[in-house]
């Protein structure tokens, strides 16, 4: 295992810890609708800023339209397939199982995205780790809430999401280890794959779930606060 993969795996333990924290929070003191929606908007803004400020400029600078098309199309297709699988599984087998399986897939993909970020450069990897740490906190909350509704014990409510967090580290090591030596159009395709996955995360997961709760100007402003915060971090880093 090369040093890049080890670095990506070590950083991926940060969001993995956030998953466990989110599960523990849901098990002992779940946040109310207002706090949950506001923080989801904030997380969406942070992830979108990472896309706009780091991944997209790097992709445009490399200038390989063919690689961009292939990678973006594959990333979009995979995320839509995950959504289809989740909906089919939940429809056929009501309960927490479908959501837990989907969370596991999402976490592995998020880990790969972190690995892709480190393959592109340490700056991109660190900023993507920061952005995804906030996002996966809510995956932990969602998984723990589903397990609670299914009647699972508190130990299981916390332990299952925390265990799934290991998929983040596995994905990050695999992404950085396998993709770190890529160049040219292939690397462009890989970065575009990560771009599509993150855009899907913002538009089809975080914001859709956030808008299930009553909205207010303050909650909407949290998206822009998250975006601005990561922009400031990028400029000062």
What's the pLDDT score for residue 237? 66
List, for residues 90-130, the tens digit of each pLDDT value.
665 555 666 677 788 888 888 888 988 888 788 888 888 98
What's the pLDDT score for residue 3? 84
Cα(149)–Cα(144) distance, integer angstroms? 9
Q: Which is nearest to 189 in space by CA: 47, 107, 74, 77?
A: 74
Q: Are 175 and 113 in contact (CB under 8 A)?
A: yes
Under 8 Å CB-to-CB from 217, ≥6 apart: which residues?
A: none
Coil, helix or strand for 116?
helix
The average pLDDT across 151-173 equals 89
What's the pLDDT score for residue 73? 95
State phi, psi for 213 to the nearest 5 degrees: -100, 160
- pTM of the predicted protein model: 0.80
State phi, psi for 123 to the nearest 5 degrees: -60, -50
Q: Are 129 and 172 in contact (CB under 8 A)?
A: no
Q: Which two tokens stand for residue 224?
A: 């822009």
Quick one: residue 63, left, alpha or beta (phi over 0 = left, psi -120 to 50 = alpha)?
left
Question: Is residue 228's pLDDT more than 90?
Answer: yes
List, for residues 30-41, the tens digit of each pLDDT value.
778 888 888 889
Q: Which is nearest to 59 in space by CA: 71, 44, 75, 43?
A: 71
The mean of the pLDDT values for the chain is 84
């Amino acid at each position: 295992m090369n040093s890049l993969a080890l670095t990506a795996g070590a950083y991926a333990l940060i969001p993995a810890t956030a998953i466990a924290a989110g599960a523990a929070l849901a098990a002992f003191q779940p946040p109310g609708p207002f706090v949950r929606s506001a923080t989801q908007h904030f997380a969406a803004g942070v992830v979108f800023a990472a896309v706009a400020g780091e991944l997209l400029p790097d992709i445009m600078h490399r200038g390989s339209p063919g690689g961009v098309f292939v990678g973006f199309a594959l990333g979009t297709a995979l995320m839509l397939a995950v959504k289809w699988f989740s909906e089919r599984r939940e429809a056929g087998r009501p309960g927490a199982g479908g959501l837990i399986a989907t969370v596991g897939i999402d976490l592995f993909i998020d880990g790969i995205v972190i690995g892709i970020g480190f393959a592109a450069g340490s700056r991109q990897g660190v900023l993507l780790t920061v952005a995804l740490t906030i996002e996966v906190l809510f995956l932990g909350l969602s998984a723990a809430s589903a397990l609670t509704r299914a009647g699972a014990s508190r130990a299981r409510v916390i332990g299952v999401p925390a265990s799934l967090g290991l998929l983040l580290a596995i994905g990050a090591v695999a992404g950085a280890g396998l993709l770190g030596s890529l160049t040219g159009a292939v690397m462009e395709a890989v970065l575009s794959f990560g771009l599509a996955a993150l855009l899907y995360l913002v538009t089809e997961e975080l914001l859709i779930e956030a808008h299930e709760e009553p909205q207010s100007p303050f909650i909407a402003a949290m998206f822009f606060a998250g975006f601005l915060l990561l922009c400031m971090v990028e400029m000062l880093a």
